[in-house]
Amino acid sequence: MINQAFPNIPGILAGFSPEATDEILAASEKRQIKAKNIVMETGEPAAHVFMISSGRLRCYKKTKSREDVVLYLLGAGDVFGLVSLLSQPPPYMASAEALSDCELFVWTHDVIRRLTAKHPQLAENALRIALEYLQQYVTRHMGLVSKTAEQRLAVTLLGLSHRGGHVHPDGVEIEATNQQLSGLADISRFTTSRLLKKWAREGVVSKVRSKVVIHVPEAMATE
């Protein structure tokens, strides 16, 4: 069965039997996406729903000055392009770029609508995922008015460690650049670099290229 090769049932498929999961995944197209390729762009007609089988992507929007603002870092099991579930979907609200070589499950608008009609649980799962994204935005907005830059970066790092960190004997490794962390924490790249260097001197984290290893998570100020 298809889902035997995909053991961690993601949110969009939560509550489905193995047979229904197989049916839904079999209706998708498998796509191989090379790193740095764009999967979808802001303003394009929403024609597909995507689920990551392997690899990492970033969702972002560009400012008027053409700078990228990172909205999410996504990994295996994450779903995006959910507006395509609607009968008359608005354009994509963000862009998505592969950060590594990726494999995606892709459903066309017509196919996902047909599957949702047959399996209403898909729509409920999609709504739950959309609300989780909204909750993250609410948390980030509250952080802007109630937390320091250091606290916001700590929350960002700890959140990434819980969602997609790799556990090692000396800590939890996160794949993220300073630019990506800056966007997610709503702080400048200079501030991100300064705080990471401070934590590195204290032995809380270490930074190598595009990775951060958290050694002492409890030492980060998050309150």
- Higher per-residue pLDDT: 30 or 221: 30
Task: Examine the domain organization and report whether 137 and 191 are in the same domain.
Answer: no
**145 alpha carbon, distance to own chain's centre:** 24
User: What's residue 68's pLDDT?
Assistant: 84
Q: What is the pLDDT at residue 2?
A: 35
Number of domains making up the chain: 2
pLDDT (tens digit per residue) in 180-196: 899 899 999 999 999 99
My answer on whether 86 and 11 are in the same domain is yes
Q: Distance between CA atoms of 90 and 138, rounded to whole angstroms?
A: 22
Last residue of a domain, one of 75, 109, 143: 143
Distance of alpha carbon 25 from alpha carbon 114, whole angstroms: 13
The share of the chain scoring above pLDDT 90, in percent, equals 64
- Whether the pLDDT of residue 37 is over 90: the answer is yes
Give the pLDDT score at 8: 47
Per-residue model confidence as pLDDT tens digits over 65-109 = 888 888 889 999 999 999 999 999 999 999 999 999 999 999 999
Mean pLDDT calculated for residue range 168-175: 87
- Residue in 39, 32, 37 with CA at minimum distance from that of residue 53: 32
Q: Are residues 99 and 163 in the same domain?
A: no
Is residue 31 located within the same domain as residue 101?
yes
Per-residue pLDDT, 7 = 40
At which of 98, 114, 143 does a domain end?
143
Residue-level pLDDT at 220: 80
Looking at residue 5, what is its pLDDT?
38
Same-domain pairing of 51 and 114: yes
Mean pLDDT computed over 136-164: 88
pLDDT at residue 222, as a whole number = 62
Q: What is the DSSP string of 52-106?
A: EEES-EEEEEE-TT--EEEEEEE-TT-EE-GGGGSSSPPPPSSEEEESS-EEEEE
Q: What is the DSSP letter of 13?
A: G
Q: What is the CATH number of the domain that holds 175?
A: 1.10.10.10
> Whole-angstrom Cα distance, residue 186 to residue 184?
6
DSSP 20-53: HHHHHHHTSEEEEE-TT-EEE-TTS---EEEEEE
Same domain, residue pair 27 and 76: yes
Cα separation, 80 vs 86, whole angstroms = 13
- pLDDT of 223 > 60? The answer is no
CATH number of the CATH domain containing 11:
2.60.120.10
Q: Domain range for residue 136?
A: 2-143
Confidence check: pLDDT of 110 > 90: yes
Does the pLDDT of residue 49 top 90, yes or no?
yes
Tell me, yes or no, whether 33 and 107 share the same domain: yes
Question: Of the candidates 156, 213, 161, which has an alpha carbon nearest to the alpha carbon of residue 179?
Answer: 156
Q: Is the pLDDT of residue 173 over 70?
A: yes
Residues 76 and 167 in one domain: no
- The two tokens of residue 173 are 């490794």
Domain boundary residue, one of 143, 172, 192 = 143
Regarding whether 168 and 139 lie in a shared domain, the answer is no
Residues 6+ apart with CB under 8 A from 195: 149, 150, 153
Same domain, 115 and 154: no
**pLDDT for the residue 1:** 32
Average pLDDT value over all residues in the chain:
89
Q: Are residues 107 and 34 in the same domain?
A: yes
The single residue listed with the structure tokens 């934590």 is: 199
Tell me, yes or no, whether 125 and 173 share the same domain: no
